[in-house]
Structure 1
């Protein structure tokens, strides 16, 4: 256990470092979109679809047992409904930020979301980062292989999110937001030290995370103005999917 705590602490620090070092990664801050960001997005999505969702599906019976005798006991997709909630929440937040940005600024100037929307957006991502840090210690599968796969996928996902938020919120994010998001995975890891949550809650948190990962990756890849690299995204997804399948 002490060794696992030390390793997960190191990973949490590396997660934090992606936000601290974000402004220095200038090779990622360009259009057309960096092939490295597109490939990182592919890795994150592959992790969700090839590893995380199948793993969570194995725990669907846990939900049925908890809700036995009630209306929810008749449902067969509790896990996926929670993932849908995660996707929907972050879709709503992204739409809120984009709508606010369209209403702000003047023609020809960079348009940013309003201050209130910035803090709403940032608070949601801080909670998201806390969740990722917490799950370092309380994943569905607690073996070393699972930890490595999770760390790689989420570490790259942090890079994608950091660059996306920087592009969306500009200097406000660099001066304030990134420091809060850098602290969040460390806080989540610290909460994880208190003790494990019930299995049902851990499964729910992972499902919510899965939906959030899918939305947060695709919202960076799909807009036309990003000029994303499909082949880099597909290659990242294919290579990591193959790695996941080979490691089973």
Structure 2
């Protein structure tokens, strides 16, 4: 276990447990926080996730009987569709039952706990280490914060009492597996593609600020700033 992995998981856990207090107590303001986070997340999808999926596709072994040359993208689509389908099914259940809102919240919490675990696993099982891991990991931390705040807005009482601890447990579980029991590279590539599709959905659905909540200048700052830094680091240091 490296020092940067321990530092990163500690930051993730603190963000997950204290996200809403950080956002609400910040002088920056909630809308600016979320707009900046959304900008970074959108940039992260286009300048890191999609190129990484392309590289994984190129490295994906052809001796497994899969010759479509688009397996990673199909798996990513599968992740997006599954998470979207679960969300719509839970939403429908909430409308059809007297306790629907509570059921909808807990179904979401279970799936986002799994989501956090898989995202955390990908971060800590990858070969990226040091300052590079901390840089890309920052975008993931902001993503965790934005998703947490969205779930908190849906049911703040349940989220504060139980939900945030479930999500933190997912992050901790992913860290344990990624650091102490990493899966083979082929499995890692499959998990990465699947969860990337789910992350793209969550970024567009939960982090892209709505018109009434958006602070466009801050969103633009997060998006263009993170893009510029990422491209500069790739160009000068081959990140």
Q: Give the aligned partner of residue 118 of structure 2.
A: 131
1:146 aligns with 2:126: no
> Can you give the 5+ residue segments of structure 1 that lack an aligned partner in the other structure?
106-111
1:74-85 → structure 2 map (5 Å cutoff):
75-85=68-78
Deviations 1:80-116 (A, max 9, x none): 11111222222223333444455577xxxxxx95333
1:176-215 → structure 2 map (5 Å cutoff):
176-215=162-201
Q: CA RMSD in A?
A: 2.7
Deviations 1:58-80 (A, max 9, x none): 22134351433xxx31x121111
1:212-231 → structure 2 map (5 Å cutoff):
212-221=198-207, 224=210, 227-231=213-217
Q: Give the aligned partner of residue 219 of structure 2.
A: 233
SS in 2 for 1:121: helix
1:87 aligns with 2:50: no
Q: Displaced runs of 4+ in structure 1, greater than 6 A? A: none
Paired with 2:190 and 2:215, the residues of 1 have a C-alpha distance of 32
Paired with 1:12 and 1:167, the residues of 2 have a C-alpha distance of 24
Paired with 1:51 and 1:219, the residues of 2 have a C-alpha distance of 19
When residues 33 and 211 of structure 1 are mapped into structure 2, their CA distance, relative to the original with a 3 A threshold, is farther
Q: 1:243 aligns with which of 220, 223, 229?
A: 229
When residues 137 and 118 of structure 1 are mapped into structure 2, their CA distance, relative to the original with a 3 A threshold, is same
Deviations 1:158-202 (A, max 9, x none): 110100001123311221111111122111111123332121211
When residues 120 and 226 of structure 1 are mapped into structure 2, their CA distance, relative to the original with a 3 A threshold, is farther
CA contact (8 A) 2:35 2:209 kept: no
Give TM-score, length-normalised by structure 2.
0.84
Q: 1:114 aligns with which of 101, 123, 130?
A: 101
Paired with 1:229 and 1:202, the residues of 2 have a C-alpha distance of 37
Choose between structure 1 and 2: higher helix proportion. 2
Name the stretch that deviates more: 209-218 or 177-186. 209-218
When residues 226 and 218 of structure 1 are mapped into structure 2, their CA distance, relative to the original with a 3 A threshold, is farther
Q: 2:43 aligns with which of 43, 46, 49?
A: 46
CA contact (8 A) 1:23 1:174 kept: no
When residues 35 and 57 of structure 1 are mapped into structure 2, their CA distance, relative to the original with a 3 A threshold, is same
> Can you give the 5+ residue segments of structure 2 that lack an aligned partner in the other structure?
235-239
SS in 2 for 1:227: coil
Equivalent residues, number:
232
Paired with 2:110 and 2:229, the residues of 1 have a C-alpha distance of 34
1:55 aligns with 2:52: yes
Paired with 2:143 and 2:194, the residues of 1 have a C-alpha distance of 15
Q: 2:9 aligns with which of 5, 12, 31?
A: 12
When residues 52 and 116 of structure 1 are mapped into structure 2, their CA distance, relative to the original with a 3 A threshold, is same
